[in-house]
Amino acid sequence: MYYSKILIPTLKDSPADAEVTSHKLMVRAGMIRQVAAGIYSILPLGLRVLRKVEQIIREEMDQIGGQEVFLPSIQPAELWAESGRWDFYGKELLRFKDRNNREFCYGPTHEEVITDIVRCNIKSYRQLPITLYQIQTKFRDEVRPRFGIMRGREFTMKDAYSFHTTEESTRETYSNMANAYSQIFERCGLSFKMVEADSGTIGGNFSHEFVVLANSGEDSIGFCDSCDYASNIEKTEAKNPPEVSEPASLEDLMEVATPQKKTIEEVTQFLRVPQKKLIKTIIFETEQGLIAGLVRGDRGINPIKLKKLVNCEWLIPASEELITKTIGLPCGYLGPVGIKLNIFADKEVSLMFNSITGANKLDTHLTGVQFSRDLNVKKVGDIRNVNEGDSCVKCDSGKLKVKKGIEVGHIFILGKKYSESMQALYLDNQGKEKPIIMGCYGIGVGRTAAAAIEQNNDEKGIIWPVSLAPFQAVILPVNFSDNTIYSAAKKIYKTLWKLGVETLLDDRSDRLGAKFKDAELLGIPMQIVVGLKNLDEGKIEIKLRKSGDSLLISFPEEIKNIPKILSNL
Ligand code: ATP
Ligand code: MG
């Protein structure tokens, strides 16, 4: 490939809306261009990288017996009605009608379509287990598309689905998938963690995420510094708080004036008490109506854990407007005493004495609040966020670390959720009909490539791992119009392609400095500089993008060593 012939529209400046490095660099390196919010065109260089990720995924899926299929991106509403998700999925599902007024959606995921295929085409236990996968475009009308193709609305996903007759077989495939995922992300040169995860709207009851550690990530994970416990923070368990014995004196309830002191900081500073003396009351909206969640003043409430404790379908923080309108209470002074809502409290709150809460009255708080005497709590459970340094629940000595990361893959055991609702049944060896047990497994292709940039870049640009690089080597002739240089460059180019090294030849008439800059921005692992001075001595110069190291190799004899140098990077 000659540089002058391939569309690589590099830019000096990053787009104004780009917040994260990978988005900036993908646009600057001419890999992607935005067409509409969260919708991108992938240009030649970008596509070369995405194809690399896809190929690695394909190889590893095939390795564990996955069979590739290609399902439609447009899906009929009827299938989604059968699973119950047509109503449940919400606004991320892009719905539309065809000319005959029939309803469709653009698939955000493919459980319904694949379950339909399996129920129509698999009848007997003899045909199971089976794993089917595809690499395909999804559409999710994300609330906040951002970060380029990392959180797009249209994006490419590898999604796999497995079908089984027993739990045991499901777990076996799940574990093979987990291993294949680890292989995939390792081959992509990523540093990642497999963490326990919540299963979200996909459903099911057992799930892990593969999270690439990066400060720009939208997810947080908690992991132990001593054992192998690692979990999405949404799910990271807090250790049971130590028992506290009742203090000698239990105060009575008392109203105190806290004029214009609304936040935890303001109230605790004003009353000169530590934050952990306060009980925080947070109101959520659910399909069961409004509920109140209680955590200690110095803790954050965890909506995912709360949702589990409440046992509701959905849960979102209630707006100030809704709170004032529905229960007529002043935000900033909310408290659990006498509130007419179901109350769910964190374990720590149940061990608090003489605490302080809002009084459900403007400019007023209550002191001397006793959990068992004054509060009518429906359920107590672990509903707080863990913090860095908390003790690990799984081992005696470990402390939790909390780090940001990017979720690149997600695996679930779905159980019978879809097979029961959609009647995907098989005949067992007794001739009895039974629902098929399912697993599902996703990887974001573009997000994986973007995550690789987040982990591998410097001020000059991208530093591709060799496995994902759009080209592994770029030849930089000092002066392409010089005959000696021209013929040497072409010889290297031809030899390298023959040796299987995808090579770009920078045939442009620009200064060498400008060519270097572009090569560095594009992140090509190896630059090969061809100049007269070195050629005179029978040498060419190799410069490595990652380490910045240079070395001279003899020309043409040592060109054959280049694949080995690359494979050692
Ligand atoms: P997130 O929590 O980031 O929205 P998700 O839990 O909705 O992800 P899944 O439904 O499990 O994601 O999808 C499988 C994979 O698809 C994810 O692990 C991620 O790599 C990728 N993915 C999901 N949403 C997007 C998106 N909007 N843009 C790019 N990739 C995505
Ligand atoms: Mg999502």
**Token output for 50:** 């995405």
Question: How confident is the model over 395-422, as pLDDT tens digits?
Answer: 989 999 999 999 999 999 999 999 999 9
Q: What is the mean pLDDT of the chain?
A: 95
> Can you give the C-alpha Rg of the chain in angstroms?
29
Query: DSSP letters of 304-324?
Result: HHHHHHHT-S-EEEPPHHHHH
What is the pLDDT, as a whole number, of residue 198?
81
pLDDT at 324: 87
Closest ligand to 109 CA? Answer: 1
Confidence of residue 203 (pLDDT cuts 50, 70, 90): low
DSSP state of 197: -
Residue 201 is predicted with a pLDDT of: 56
Which candidate, 80, 77, 104, 90, places its Cα nearest to that of 313?
Answer: 90
What is d(CA 439, CA 170) in angstroms, rounded to the nearest whole number? 7
Residue 65 or residue 322, greater confidence: 65
Q: Is the minimum distance from the CB of 446 to ligand 1 under 6 angstroms?
A: yes
Neighbours of 491 (CB within 10 A): 14
Tokens of 272: 């000169």
- For ligand 1, atom 3, name the residue with the nearest CA: 407
Q: What is the dihedral of CA 324, 326, 328, 331, to 10 degrees?
A: -40
Which atom of ligand 1 is the closest one to the Cα of 140?
A: 27
Pocket perturbation via mutation, ligand 1, pick of 407, 441, 443 by most ligand atoms within 8 A of CB: 407
Is the distance from the beta carbon of residue 200 to the nearest atom of ligand 1 less than 6 Å?
yes
Which pLDDT value is given to residue 327?
A: 80
pLDDT at 349 over 70: yes
Average pLDDT over residues 78-101: 95
Q: Which residues contact 346 (CB under 8 A, 6 or more apart)?
A: 293, 294, 295, 296, 299, 301, 380, 381, 382, 383, 384
Instruction: Give the separation between CA 206 and CA 410, rounded to whole angstroms.
Output: 11
Alpha carbons 269 and 281: distance in angstroms, whole number: 18
Q: What are 462's two structure tokens?
A: 């991208």
In this structure, what DSSP letter does residue 237 have?
A: P
Report in angstroms the alpha-carbon separations of 269 from 258, 265, 474.
11, 6, 61
Report, as an integer, the average pLDDT of 127-152.
96
Kindly give, in sequence order, each residue whose CB lies less than 8 Å from that of residue 538, ignoring residues fewer than 6 positions away.
554, 555
Q: What is the torsional sign of CA 141, 287, 293, 393?
A: negative
Alpha helix positions (H), 130-233: 167-187
| Residue 111 CB–ligand 1 contact under 6 Å | no
Q: Answer for the pair 488, 555: CB distance below 8 angstroms, yes or no.
A: yes
Longest dimension (CA), the chain: 95
Average pLDDT score over residue span 309-332 = 89
Which residue's alpha carbon is at the smallest distance from atom 4 of ligand 1? 151
Q: Quick one: how far is CA 209 from the chain centroid?
A: 8
- Nearest-angstrom CA–CA distance, 461 and 51: 21
Q: Whose CA is nearest to atom 24 of ligand 1?
A: 151
Euclidean distance between CA atoms 540 and 491, whole angstroms: 12
User: For residue 101, what pLDDT is reported?
Assistant: 98
Query: What pTM does this model have?
Result: 0.90
**Is the pLDDT confidence value at 202 over 60?**
no
Q: What is the pLDDT of residues 537-559, one digit of tens each?
A: 999 999 999 999 999 999 999 99
pLDDT number for residue 63: 98
State the Cα–Cα distance between residues 324 and 495, nearest whole angstrom.
74
- pLDDT (0 to 100) of residue 443: 98
Indicate the DSSP class of residue 56.
Answer: H
First to last CA, the chain: 23
Q: Is 152 in the pocket of ligand 1 (CB under 6 A)?
A: yes
d(CA 507, CA 230): 49
Q: From atom 22 of ligand 1, which residue's Cα is the shortest distance away?
A: 444
Q: pLDDT class for 326, splitting at 50, 70, 90?
A: confident
Under a CB-based contact definition with an 8 Å cutoff, are residues 244 and 351 in contact?
yes
DSSP states of 11-54 as a string? -SS--TT--SHHHHHHHHTTSEEEEETTEEEEPHHHHHHHHHHH
pLDDT higher than 90, residue 564: yes
Beta-sheet strand order (sheet of 94-97):
74-76, 103-106, 94-97
Q: Which two tokens stand for residue 69?
A: 């299929």
